[in-house]
Amino acid sequence: MSEPAIEVRGLEKSYGDVHAVRGIDLAVPRGEVFALLGPNGAGKTTTVEILEGYRTRTAGDVRVLGFDPARSERALKEQVGIVLQSTGVDPFLTVAETVDMYRGYYPRPRPRDEVIEVVGLQEKRDTRVRRLSGGQHRRLDVAVALAGDPDVLFLDEPTTGFDPNARRNAWDMVQNLQSLGKTVFLTTHYMDEAQVLADEVAVIVEGLIVARGTPDTLGGRDTATAIVRFRVDDGTLPDELARQVTFEQGMAEYRSEDPAAFLHALTGWALERGTGLDGLTVQRPTLEDVYLELTGEPVAEEL
Amino acid sequence: MSRGAGVALGIRQIRYFNKAFWRNPASAFFTFIFPLMFLVIFTSLLGNGETQVGGRTVKDATYYVASMAAFSVITACYTNVAMGLAFQRDEGTLKRIRGTPIPPTAFLLARVAFSMLVALLLVTICATFGAALYGATIPSGATLLRFLAMLLAGAGSFAALGIAVTAIIPNADAAPPVVNATVLPLLFLSGIFIPIGDDAPGWITLIGKIFPVSHFLKGMSSAFLGTPFEWGDVLVVAIWGVAGLALAIRFFSWEPRS
């Protein structure tokens, strides 16, 4: 594998006495979707804007495609697409004109209609920007970022304010990008978004990365205590099983880091007796549970 | 990127500015229709009197052909550039542009060049109107060259000042009041709306000498009214332009100021 698309070592950023980013390390391999999670004010946007070249850093080393973004080099900008949290485009140009205008800034742009298709705005091709809905506007933001056929794409909270349907569409779009081999650096405070899209996630809290991993292993999710629950009448379970569970409101509950042996015994017993196990669930902590524990704050509510 | 490619990119950008400009009712109205409307109103309403300009007596109507031409240039270059950039900055358009490979100077120069083209078109309309109806002279020969020098210096300088003033505009809502507050009093004190005679109070004359509007108006008037032309006027306007450019380079922001 070649060098990572994005590499960050010891990154720090202070605004006066405020230490927004306090020494973080990251590496995003080419072609991967990376999600930076964190509550508002944790340093997500500061970090991504340093990577995009909008902010200077106080300390540390940053490389995007081998370039230092702080130097604002044209050769880097030609290979990077940026979707900021809020950005404007001229309201009086049409979707097609807007995409064309931005395509003109790049040496090897993607064909216009292809760009419009990736974000699903074919129907709105000749509509003026001011007549687009919020979700369509956001998709145009992405289209504009794709106009130059970038290798690396930065998406800063791309679905904030979307309704659930629009978010699913946006996710499809990001998955499209990944299949095109793009490296995507995403910030979000939606756990389900990270779960669906990211190959790797890192959680940033108060300027520090407190956990990282795949969405399935973050914070030891995969090995954390599993909870087995099922409905059973009191007294019917054989002693060896009953000993291991607690009862609450007619539900038996069993906790273990490795529930395999218990589940084997339980299902064996149920099969033998010919009873179903009503309401049987095996649960590990969700990404949201892990996030909550790490950040100590309630997760953003899904719209 | 080569200079040629930068110029090509700039020209391309001007075409997009042009498209968006005419589709935006507010910009098309205030920048384009407004000065022409003033021209018709002033010449019709006040056109019958006479006024003393540069040792000559001219009809007020003719005077307004020159002053409305100057007003058009200031509106298109100063007011429109300042407000347009402040809005684009607040909406994040400028920040987005900054993240693309287009050189920032190519983008801003294209904006300036576009406003100068609008100004040129407006001046042409004023001149045609004035010559057809109010006996304004259409400059030709050496007068035309001097006039174009003044026009170029004025349009460029007012555009540079328009970029510079965005530094003191905190947000888009504040753009119209700030821009108008910086230019409207000056327009009145410099004879754009009301001719200022030799008997004007000293402080008004002084303001006229210091700021660029009055000098610009004198330059424009010389072409249309046949009053004396002074290179000193061009110089004062150009100095303001260079100062504006320096301030713009130092303080211009591509991101919303908050």
pLDDT higher than threshold 80 for residue B188: yes
Answer yes or no: are the C-beta atoms of A142 and A155 closer than 8 Å: yes
Q: Which of residues 6-45 of B touch A (CB under 8 A)?
A: 9, 12-13, 16, 19-20, 23-24
Going by pLDDT thresholds of 50, 70 and 90, the confidence category of residue A301 is very low
Are A53 and A70 in contact, with CB atoms under 8 Å apart?
yes
| Residues of A at the B interface, defined by Cβ within 8 angstroms | 52-54, 74, 77-78, 80, 82, 84, 86-93, 97, 101-102, 104-107, 128, 144, 148
CB A203 within 8 A of CB A211: yes
A135-184 confidence digits (pLDDT tens): 888 889 989 999 999 999 999 988 877 778 878 888 888 888 888 889 99
Distance from CA of B188 to the nearest CA of A (A): 33
List the single residue in A78, A93, A144 with the smallest CB-CB distance to B19: A93
Q: Do B177 and B183 form a contact (C-beta atoms < 8 A)?
A: no
Q: Does A52 contact B103 at a Cβ distance shorter than 8 Å? A: no
A225 close to A61: Cβ distance less than 8 angstroms: no
The residue that leads in pLDDT, B247 or A293, is B247
Which of the pair, B241 or A291, is modelled with greater confidence?
Answer: B241
Instruction: Quote the CA–CA distance of B150 and B188 in Å, as a whole number.
Output: 21
CA–CA distance, A185 with A34 (Å, rounded to integer): 5
State phi, psi for A62 to the nearest 5 degrees.
-130, 130
Q: Percentage of chain B with pLDDT > 90?
A: 64
Q: Which residues pair with A15 in a beta bridge?
A: A18
Q: Which residue in the set B19, B20, B96 is minimally distant from A87, CB to CB?
A: B96
For the residues B230-250, what does the mean pLDDT come to?
Answer: 95
Of A80, A89, A128, the CB nearest to B93: A89
Mutation target for B interface from A67, A92, A151, A153: give the one with most B CBs within 10 A.
Answer: A92
Which residues 6+ apart lie within 8 Å of A234 measured at CB?
A: A247, A250
State pLDDT tens for residues A31-59: 999 999 988 888 999 999 999 999 999 99
Of A114, A115, A117, A136, give the one whose Cα is nearest residue A127: A136
Q: What distance in Å separates residue B202's CA from the closest CA in chain A?
A: 46
Question: Testing the interface with A: which of B1, B15, B16, B21 to mutate, by most A Cβ within 10 A?
Answer: B16
Closest CA to A154 of A60, A55, A61: A55
The winner for highest mean pLDDT among A38-52, B50-64, B229-243 is B229-243
Rounded average pLDDT over A177-194: 89
Q: What is the pLDDT of residues A87-109, one digit of tens each?
A: 789 999 999 999 999 999 999 99
Q: What is the mean pLDDT of chain B?
A: 91
Q: Any chain A CB within 8 A of the CB of B50?
A: no
Q: Is the pLDDT of residue A299 over 60?
A: no
User: Pick from B16, B91, B102: which is nearest to A93 by CB?
Assistant: B16
Closest residue to A77, CB basis, from B13, B93, B99: B99
| Average confidence (pLDDT) over A262-283 | 87
- Considering only CB atoms, which chain A residues are within 8 Å of B90? 88
Confidence of residue A198 (pLDDT cuts 50, 70, 90): very high
> Burial of B113 by CB count in 10 Å (0-12 exposed, 13-18 middle, 19+ buried)?
middle
H or E element, residue A254 = strand A251-256
**Å from A19 to nearest chain B CA?**
19
Backbone angles phi, psi at A152, to 5 degrees: -120, 135
Residue B143 CA to residue B146 CA, distance in Å, equals 5
User: DSSP secondary-structure letter at A247?
Assistant: E
Which residue of chain B is at minimal alpha-carbon distance from A69?
A: B99
ipTM score for this prediction: 0.89
Q: Which of A38-42, B18-22, B98-102 has the lowest mean pLDDT?
A: A38-42
Nearest to A90 among B93, B101, B255 (CB): B93
Is B95 part of the contact surface with chain A (CB cutoff 8 Å)?
yes
Quote the tokens at residue B242.
Answer: 């260079």
Q: What pLDDT shows up at residue B114?
A: 96
Given pLDDT bands bounded at 50, 70 and 90, which one contains residue A298? low
